[in-house]
Structure 1
Amino acid sequence: MDLVLLLGGIVLLLCLCLLKKYRRSNFTALLLPPGPPRLPLVGNLHQLDKKAPFKTFVELSKRYGPVLTVHLGWQRAVVLVGFDTVKEALVDQADDFTGRGPVPFLLRATKGYGLAISNGERWRQLRRFTLMTLRDFGMGRKGMEEWIQEESKHLAARFNTTKATPFDPSYFLSCSVSNVICCLVFGQRFAYDDQHFLHLLQILSETIRFGSSPRGQLYNVFPRLMEWLPGKHHKTFAWIEELRAFITEKIEEHRNTLSTGCPRDYIDSFLIRLRQEKQKDSTEFHYDNLVSTVLNLYLAGTETTSSTIRFALSVLVKYPKVQESIQQEVDGVIGRRSPTMEDRKSLPFTDAVLHEVQRLMDLVPMGVPRYALRDIPFRGYVIPKDTMIVPLLHSVLKEEKQWATPWTFNPQHFLDHNGNFKKNPAFLPFSAGKRACVGESLARMEIFLFVVSLLQNFVFSHAGGPDGVDLSPEYSSFANVPRRYDIVATPRS
C-alpha cells in the first residue's frame, strides 16, 4: 500500500511538472514576438536569402514588425530591426542585452574562452582589464597616434615601390593595421616581407571570408552535422590552430622574459595579473582566457579595420571628385606634415566621407549576436531564456527615416547646411551598449590617420576607370567583405 501511494505521488508530481512546463511554454509562446511559420528541423532557413540573410529579416519586419521571431534550424532567434528598436534594447535596456550566444564557429575557434563570447563574471573581468590595459598602452591617446603615424610612413614607402603600376593593396594595408595591434598586444611590429607574418594575415582574411560565406553560416546552424561532412570549414579550423600556435609561442617568449615591474604590452600585463591571482578560485586570469582573448584582439584588430580602409580606397577611386576635394581640404589645413587626430576638427568634409564609408560598407550587418541569459521583457513581449538576439545593424545604417539616401554614397549625411560635420545617432558600425567593440577608438584613429596620410602622398585610380569599381560586397553575411581591386597609386608632386 505504501509503495502504491509512493508511486502515485511520484506520478502526480511528474504530471504537475509537465503541466507547469507545458503551461509555461504555451504562455511564453503567446508572449513571443511574432514571426513567420517554421518547418521542422530547418525552421525558417528556406526563406532566407543565402547571400545576404539580413535582407530577408528587413523584409519580414515589414509584415511582422520591428521585433520578430525566426528559427535558424533548431535555434530560436529574435531580430531587432531599426534604430529605435536596437537603441532601446542595447542602450536603454543594456543590462538585459549583454549576453553573448554560443556561436558555434566562434566557440570552436576560441575553445569557449576569451572575451568575445564570454558572459557573466568572465566577461566583466576580461572586458574591464582589456579596456584598461589597452588604454594604458596608448589606445585612443597620443602614444598610439605616434605609432600609427610611423606605420603610415612604412605603408607609403611600400605603395611607392609599386611605381604607379596596378597592385592589390590588401596585404600592405593588413600589414600596417596588424602592426598597430601587434605593438599593443605583442610589443613588436613585423616586416612587410616577413613570410610567416604574411601567411598569418592570409589566414585572418580567409577566416573572415569563410565566416561570411553561406557554408560558414551553415556551420553555425548545424555544427554537429558539418563536423561529419567534408568542406572548407576543416581547413579553416586548421588555420585557426596555426594562429593559436603563433600566439602560444609569443606568450611563452613573454613568460621567459617577463619583468613584473615593467610590462611591455597586453600579454605582459595579463601574465602579471595571472601570477597575482593564481591562488584565487574565482579568477578569470588564466592561460586559456589569455590565448583566446589575444586571438580575439588580433583577428578583430586586423581584418576589420584593414577591410574598411581598403573599401575607402575603392570609394575614392569610384568618386574621384570626392578624392580631389579631400586632398584640397587636407592640403589647405595640414599640408604634408603627419596628420593628427586634432586635425579632424578642421577637416569636416574628410571626416564626413570616412563616416559615410563606414555607413555604406555596413561591415557587420547583423552585429555579433546577443543571447538571452534569462527571460527578457521587451516591448510587450517576452524573449525567452536561451534565445539568440540579432541586433540588425544593417537596418540602422540603411534606415530610410535616418538617412536621406541610404543606399548611395552621400557624405552630406554627415554635413550640415554650412558644411560643418554633424553627428547622427544612428551611426552604429561598432554596435552600442555594454558590448560595443572594445577597439572602437583605435579603429577610428587608424581609419582617419592612414587614409589622410595616403591621400597626402598619392592619387588613387583604377585601370578600368571609376565604372570598373563595384562597391557591392563580395561576400555578405556575418560580414560584408569588400571586393578586391588592383589600383594605381600615383605619387603626388
Structure 2
Amino acid sequence: MWNLWEGILLFLGCIFIIKYLKVIWAAKSLPPGPIPLPFIGNLWTLSFQLHPETLRQLAKLHGNIYTVWLGETPLVVLNGLKAVKDGIVSHSEELSGRPVAGFLRALLSEKGIFTSNGGMWKQQRRFGLMTLKNLGLGKCSLESRIQEEVGCLVESFKSKNGESFDPSEMITNSVVNVISAVVFGHRFSIDDGIFQYLVQCNHVLLEIIGSAWGRLYDSFPWLMKHLPGRHQKAFEIMEYLHKFTDKEIRMHKENRSFEEPQDVIDYYLAHISKTAGEKESIIDEDSLITVVIEFFNAGTETTATSLLWALLYMVAYPDVQKKVHKELDAVLNGSAIYYEDRKRLHYTNAAIHEIQRCGNVAAVGLLRTCTRDVSVSGYSLHMNTMVLPNLDSVLHDSEYWDTPDQFNPHHFLDKDGMFLVNEAFLPFSAGARVCLGEQLARYELFLFFTTLMRTFSFHLPEGVTEVNTKYIFKTNLLPHPYTICAIPR
C-alpha cells in the first residue's frame, strides 16, 4: 500500500519539477524579472494584485521592461513612456490582442469590445465609435444631455445649504444617468430601486475584478471557475446585468424606436435588422448585450471617480481653486458653459488634466497580448505573450514631469500660461486599444467640473484641517471617503 502512495507522490513530484523547469526555461527568452516560485509564479511577490506601487518597485529592480509570472503564465510589464509608447503606439497592431483566458474574458465573453479579438473586435469597435459619433459626440445633442445632469447635480449640492456632506453618491448618480441616456435612451429616478442596484453592481464588480480573486482567476482559470469564492459573485452580477439589458432590448424592439435611433441599443438593433442574412456581419443581440454592459460599466466608475478626485484636490489645494474661480469668472462672464470653452480656459483645463494625472483612475491599464511575434525595446516577444502597459508609470515618469509625485497644474502650462499638451499624458491608454469612450469622458469631466466650480466654493468641514489624497486600490484608484462643504458663490 505504501509503495503505491510513494509511487503516486514520486510521479506528482516529477510532474511538479518538470513543469517548474519548463517555466525557468521559458523565462530565459523573456525580459528579466523576479524569480518565479513553483506553481504560483510571482503572485506572492505581487500580493496577488497588479498594484501600481508594487509594479513601480519591481521596475526599479529589474528595469522598465520586466516579466512577472501569474502562475505559469508570463506577463511582460512595460514601464515609463518610452517602453509603453514603443509597445502600444509603435507596435499598436502587434499588441492589440486580449487574453483568451482570464477573469475579464470569462465575465464578458468574446463578443464585446473589451475582450474580443480579430474581426469581432475590429467590427465592434468601428461600429461603437460610429454609434457614439451619431449620438452627437461633439454636437449639441449629447452636450445638452450632460448639461441636464450637471444641473441636477448642482441642485443636489445646493440642497445641502452649505452643510458638510459626502458627494460620492450624488456624483455617481449623475454620471450613471449620463451613460444611461446614451445607452438606454432614458435616465433613472435616483430613488428607483433598480437604479440603485445597478450602481451597487458596478461598484462590487470593479472591486472584485481588481482583487486577489481576479488575479487568481487570471492565473488558474481552469481551477477557479469551479471553486467557491468572491469571484463567483461577479458572475452573479453579470447574469443580472444580462437579464436587465435583455429586458431593455425587448422594450426597444416593442417600441420600434430603432427605426429612428436615439441611443446605443437603437443603433445596434437597426444595424442587426439591416444586415440580417449577411455572412460578414458578426454583430447580433448576444454581442449587443455585452457591448451595452461594457458601455454602462466603463462609462460610470471612471468619470465619477475623476470628479471625486477633482473636488478633493480643490479643497486640498485652495490656491488652485481660487485661480480656477478667477479664470472662470473672467473668461465666461456668466455665460453658459460649453466644451469649446476649454480652449479659452487654459488654467482650468490644465487643472483638469492634472487631476486626471494624479488621480489616475485607470491605474495600470488592461492586459494585452501579442497578435504575432514582435520586438519591443530590443526584446523578442512571441505571439500570445501577455503584455501590461503600466499607465501609472507613464503618468509619473520623472523624465516628463517636473514634480511627478505632486499635484501641479503647471505641468500643462507653458511659460506664458497657455495650455500645453504633454506627450506622457496617457490616462486613456493609446494605440489600437485606446479607450473607446475617451471623448465622452472628456466632455463630462469638463462640463461637470467647470459648472460646479463656477457655482460653488468648496471647503473642508469645520474642525477638519487635513486632506487625505492617498488612494484606495480597487481596479480603479479611488480617493478615501471624505466630506466637504459646497458654498454657493
- 1:152 paired residue number: 150
Q: Distance in 1 between matches of 2:289 and 2:314?
A: 38
Q: Distance in 1 between matches of 2:30 and 2:326?
A: 54
CA gap 1:258/1:319 in 2 versus in 1, 3 angstroms? same
Q: Distance in 2 between matches of 1:458 and 1:217?
A: 42
Equivalent pair of 2:309/2:479 in contact (CA under 8 Å): yes
Equivalent residue for 2:444, pick from 441, 446, 449:
446
Unaligned runs of 5+ residues in structure 1 are 1-23
- 1:312 paired residue number: 310
Offset at 1:315? 0.9
Equivalent residue for 2:217, pick from 205, 216, 219:
219
Q: Distance in 2 between matches of 1:426 and 1:159?
A: 35
- 1:8 paired residue number: none
SS of equivalent to 1:70:
strand
Offset at 1:118? 0.5
Q: Distance in 2 between matches of 1:213 and 1:462?
A: 32
**Mean Cα displacement is larger for which, 426-435 or 268-277?**
268-277
- 1:179 paired residue number: 177
TM-score, structure 2 length as denominator? 0.90
SS of equivalent to 2:208:
helix
Matched, 1:486 2:483: yes
Equivalent pair of 1:148/1:446 in contact (CA under 8 Å): yes
Deviations 1:375-420 (A, max 9, x none): 2222332212222100011110001111111111111111111111
Equivalent pair of 1:36/1:70 in contact (CA under 8 Å): yes
Alignment of structure 1 residues 193-204 onto 2, 5 Å: 193-204=191-202
Equivalent pair of 2:113/2:125 in contact (CA under 8 Å): yes
SS of equivalent to 1:45:
coil
Q: Which letter maps to 1:195?
A: G
- 2:67 paired residue number: 69
- 2:286 paired residue number: 288
- 1:423 paired residue number: 421
- 1:55 paired residue number: 53
CA gap 1:329/1:260 in 2 versus in 1, 3 angstroms? closer
Q: Which letter maps to 2:30?
A: L
Equivalent pair of 1:149/1:338 in contact (CA under 8 Å): no
Matched, 1:189 2:181: no
Offset at 1:423? 0.7
TM-score, structure 1 length as denominator? 0.90
CA gap 1:274/1:71 in 2 versus in 1, 3 angstroms? same
Equivalent residue for 2:125, pick from 117, 124, 127:
127
CA gap 1:422/1:71 in 2 versus in 1, 3 angstroms? same
Deviations 1:337-374 (A, max 9, x none): 33111211111111111100100012222211111232
Offset at 1:153? 0.8
Equivalent pair of 1:370/1:389 in contact (CA under 8 Å): yes
- 1:251 paired residue number: 249
SS of equivalent to 1:172:
helix
Alignment of structure 1 residues 307-456 onto 2, 5 Å: 307-456=305-454
Equivalent residue for 1:108, pick from 103, 106, 111:
106
Deviations 1:149-187 (A, max 9, x none): 222111111112222222221221112112222222111
- 1:167 paired residue number: 165
**Mean Cα displacement is larger for which, 224-233 or 395-404?**
224-233
SS of equivalent to 1:96:
coil
Deviations 1:119-163 (A, max 9, x none): 100011000000011101112333222221222111111112222
Q: Distance in 2 between matches of 1:448 and 1:157?
A: 18
Pairs aligned (count): 468
Offset at 1:425? 0.4
Q: Distance in 2 between matches of 1:214 and 1:488?
A: 36
Q: Which letter maps to 1:485?
A: Y
Unaligned runs of 5+ residues in structure 2 are 1-21
CA gap 1:25/1:50 in 2 versus in 1, 3 angstroms? closer
